[in-house]
Amino acid sequence: MKLGYVLDDLFVEHRAPSGHPERPARAEAVRDALAAAGIASSGTHVATRFATDEELARVHAPSYLDELVKVVPGHTGWLDPDTYYSPKSWDAARAAAGSVCQLATDVLDGKLDQGIAVVRPPGHHATRDRAMGFCLLNNVAAAAAAARARGAARVAIVDWDVHHGNGTQDIFWDDPTVLYLSVHQFPYYPGSGAPTEIGGPRALGATVNVGLPSGSGDAEYLAAFDHVIVPAIEKFKPDLILVSAGFDAFEHDPLAGMRVTFAGFAGMARRLRAVADRVAHGRIIAVLEGGYDLDGLAGGMTQVLTSLLAQRSDRPEPIAPLPVAGSARAAIDATLAAHAAAGVPIPAPEP
């Protein structure tokens, strides 16, 4: 398998105000961990590039992009109470979106099979016309749209960041060619991601939300993957899988209340790698989103790298059992029930 990766010091130049959790050390921690894991000898470095106007306009409103161009470059300030910018933030944001687009098109063109992008600022909260949640441009959404423009019939986006990716959902809400799947803490910021949010009139079932309760860990996440996320991907049969890989569900993350360990992230990554092998010719790209414990970030993305580079196995992962009862079981059941009631059921996992 040919793996491409995006690592660039430009993403450290998005400089945080003192005490802000979305800080340059996040990218540095992941960069150093992947270097120690041998990513340079295992993959191909993909040169950083800015997103084109066309790539950004596919997923963001022209008026919003015009406002960012007027306000952000060379300046310091706030776009909302959480989302800052510094003099190099516009360059970093355009490079984050453009580099993930490049990874996606390289994978579709057969130059690469897989990818990892360590980029900042993150993107999945950025809607068509609004910055929020530390995000200026929606990197994964831009890459999905670039893949569609390159010829992909269908793209799946799996978001395991602890916060629901409201921006990605918003952008593809009524697009039946992009499947958006999220496993997140619920209720929690930004307030979206209920199980009944299943897509617009033209795209019923193309949005899948599993909102797990605070305190959920490996068992609950892997059950959600085995009984909801993976079967939905199997049914959709995408040409490419993009992963919004946030690591703030880590057991020690300061901004959330989940209990996922490195073994849990490895299990999720292995499942996505396996389903990509089965239905998407192995095409899968992991893109950094949130995660604010540096050890969690470093170890989590190292697990993703290891899972992507592992030899393909003909032995499927054992299916994680559904929780017997409780709020985690209720959350999974609610997602399955919402899709069944709308006539777009998610199939049961194959043994």
Catalytic residue positions? 125
Q: Which residues 6+ apart lie within 8 Å of 47 measured at CB?
A: 99, 102
> CA distances (Å), 213 to each of 132, 329, 346, in order?
23, 10, 21
Distance of alpha carbon 147 from alpha carbon 175, whole angstroms? 14
What does the block give as tokens for 266?
A: 């490895």
What letter represents residue 260's amino acid? V
Alpha-carbon span 334 to 325, nearest angstrom: 13
Short-list 111, 100, 95, CA closest to 141: 100
Tokens of 103: 């990874």
Residue 195's nearest CA partner among 350, 347, 321, 342 is 342
Instruction: Give the residue from 105, 7, 6 showing the smallest Cα distance to 58.
Output: 105
Q: Work out the number of other CB atoms within 10 angstroms of the CB of residue 213.
A: 17
Helix, strand, coil shares of the chain, percent, nearest 5, are 40, 15, 45
Angle CA 171–238–304, to nearest 5: 85
55 within 8 A of 123, measured Cβ to Cβ = no
Amino acid at 75: H
For 231-260, letters b (16+ CB in 10 Å) and e give: bbbbebebbbbbbbbbbbbbbebeebebbb
